Structure 1
């Protein structure tokens, strides 16, 4: 993509955010992760919206990615979210981390140990929603350009001493309207939530770095489910805790 094409795609997404309208497609689609990230960054610059968190992926056989989560769309559990703010009402139960100190830009990669020492852990519900009318019909790079179709993040209470948790085999239960719809041990896409946080830090070290207080959510343990207005959702991780959200009409 040219700079003009990145600017055009970002302008379309920024206008959709301002107006609450939904796009059918971008005027020009990204062809790489780098271009999709550049569109995200340009949208943030256009809207002037502070970034409070990231959704990160670190597939074993693909390039890592990050989606920007706006600070005002982080709602502490138990949360109530108007459907108008997150109209697609997707939910994913996730393990997230909060950074307790800055990890600034630098030339050398951060080690796993350095990142782990700067984190507290918490349960979270990522709310999936988009500026596209049909987000799941879009190719992955177009989804990524739209902040990886993030709508909101609902974090639960954090724990500082999480090193004893066997993250690859935590028991997770997802409830919808008080009924368990997922109940199993494990389920993280890579089995290594901390590794995803490390990947995020090393993506960001080439730009702005990460700031104390920002969060990173590290991938769905429960799959993606779409709910309805009025539904209640909760996720519970054994030893880590619970997060809850209600979608108001």
Structure 2
């Protein structure tokens, strides 16, 4: 795939993201042949958009999901400044691209993690985390999930499902708390739809701790993007099972409460997704 076609796809993906549009399929000549090309195009999309990158998202952490997606490592995407919101937040469904709400832990880095040959230790990554937050991501994709859905490199070029991030209040003393076993509940319109924990979702990772997720993905993203990771958000999904929205007015909330003396956590964050509404007046 020559440079002109890479740039053509980057411009097209940037236009789709900027305009909140999707399309069915992708011309074969524009499908990236591999992950390296896909990430190079994703960086071009950033340049075309001209939006500040304030963080990175991780996807495909579980081996089973990797097999399903036909990838061998977790994948990452950029988090753009215009898509960061603070709870409580509202978005218009029509401007999202098949949004899937995912309950996450989101880390703000307060120290540099520059690319290096030696892998970072868990302790080093943990020391670099300034704060850890509960959050909801509206994962989205510029391609309609239909029979013409393109191969995974095209999705990676689009940002690996990166979308709107709703940020909750920081969790105090997060390193002293049992984050991995923290139970999280996803409610929509006051009805419980999903329940889970990081320990269950990431049981193939040691202790299911968020900093283990950051250790892998931060180094991968830094090496690919060739930049320091500093004062940015890193989001790690809390579970695989997500809820697809149907375009009606929805409210999603994540609640967590750990029933252990001295480390209780109770938090609430909300996101309202509003369907398109029309108004007609008569004289």
Structures share fold, TM-score greater than 0.5: yes
For 1:4 and 1:114, the matched residues in 2 are separated by 40
The Cα shift of 1:160 comes to 4.2
Task: Provide the secondary structure at the position in 2 that maps to 1:149.
Answer: coil
C-alpha distance in 1 between matches for 2:266 and 2:219: 25
Give the structure 1 partner of residue 12 of structure 2: 12
Kept in 2, the 8 Å contact 1:95–1:217? The answer is yes
1:66, distance to aligned residue in structure 2 (A)? 0.8
C-alpha RMSD of the superposition: 2.3
Residue 219 (structure 1) shift: 1.9
> Which is greater in Rg?
2
Deviation, 1:167, is: 3.4
Among 123, 126, 141, which residue is 1:130 paired with?
Answer: 141
* Cα gap change, 1:145 to 1:45, in 2 (>3 Å): same
1:199 pairs, out of 193, 216, 227, with 216
| Partner in structure 2 of residue 121 of structure 1 | 132
- Equivalent position of 2:35 in the other structure: 33
1:1-249 → structure 2 map (5 Å cutoff): 1-27=1-27, 28-57=30-59, 58-59=61-62, 62-119=72-129, 120-134=131-145, 137-185=149-197, 186-189=199-202, 190=204, 191-206=208-223, 207-212=226-231, 214-221=232-239, 223-227=241-245, 228-238=247-257, 239=265, 241-249=267-275
In the alignment, the residues of structure 1 paired with residue 86 and residue 136 of structure 2 have an alpha-carbon distance, to the nearest angstrom, of 10
TM-score, normalised via structure 2 length: 0.79
Q: Distance in 1 between matches of 2:43 and 2:21?
A: 20
- Segments of 5+ residues of structure 1 without an aligned counterpart are none
Query: Which region of structure 1 is more displaced relative to structure 2, 201-210 or 182-191?
Result: 182-191
